[in-house]
A and B are shown apart, each in its own frame.
Chain A
């Protein structure tokens, strides 16, 4: 196994894993999307709401706001020792919000949520929640819990987690006449004419769309599109709730833990 070409930009990461099975890559992808826990508002107590949005509309919008998560300080409610429906300090973070529009229309932003624990706060301050006309008022308490994407998409730590095989594009130069048609039609611009010879650059950008083969006049086409079934290009885009690297690490850790837990259970069942 090898990991290479890591490209990290803010909340996104692109890397290549070589020498793994498709099942492993897919388990990792699925775990990242559905099983890495994050914080999200789950319970909202509305004390006063004279805005134009219904209480449940408001609660839904609050739930979708990504919150910065501390996985070490909080536990999932189902694993928490408190066993209480309301939750305790280990499994719940609370927020309050109080906004009133006095003389002009006011937009309520995610930044108006006042967190009890400053470590758990909205990822962005500028997410509009609702607009209030003069005289309208909003007062509420919100409780955030850890949860998983498999229960509700608001707990998904990523907005994109994909993998694809590493494409291989080879050109049989002896059969190619260098007309350059394929160069024009490649949407990812990976083909290039160098001294009338077709060359390939940035193969990892190739989406295997086969446009180059389709627009080639020669039959059989000198361009061969193929892929490697043990090299995967991953792309992960975090919502900001957790750093991307932590999401991937947590997913791998969870798969391993599950396997060792199962092997313990099997030893006992034998």
Chain B
């Protein structure tokens, strides 16, 4: 029993336990739904990791926005900012990226693509800044403001693809596709995997280094751990740190949108995101807000989504169950965390086990 508690007390052990709990629960749902579990598991494997194509063009392509937006959520949560508006910030980023990309249609890739991504990050950051200002100036709970801004962003995209940015025939609610030079290059020949995945990994490493090794990163973690304590040191301007976390989080979410439209869809339409901003919360929590672990958690969920699509195709299991898994992972992490607190208290009270 003690050894189990000890495993649960380690961060990664708890995450693995939560993921396993979720997978077992999902297997239960699949069996209860009357599906053939063996058939479903095979389809899941084939869709996510059974071949090079399913891994590189399925799992990793789907993991890319999850990792980048997962980083956005992790950075915000680390500072104690409950940004649940990554979805809206992603949409703002996607819209700005497409607008910039269409305006630069005959420019060189070397100039166009970085400018597109910068536009996406700036727009995502600006969208988050609204909630940041509302919090800083007026004390508005970011939970409510970011939620409202998600809706406004969605209606904004809906307007853009039926108005100023609509393709010229006016038949479809979408923009023209980006020119070849305005797209992210594919990084493995014959696969759909694009440069965005490499960017996701680079940004994860950068975020990890930033949070762990810089003074600004330390201030973010200090504010997240206890704003009052951080303020009482007299060396941390809590308002500034929190606002900075909004901007950084929004920029990352905007980058997620930018990478998705330049690497996968090549155009803007309303349903550009199947809820990446919400799935990213599961990613960030499963990773315990550790940016390097976000890569692993993102690939895990990317695999589930790719495998889920395979299961729907081959075994008839509805792909909506991926949301069930994500929800159960979140609840599992929360419950295991709670168990760790209780277990930690129990171990601390037992004198004989203190040394362990």
Chains A and B belong together in one complex? no
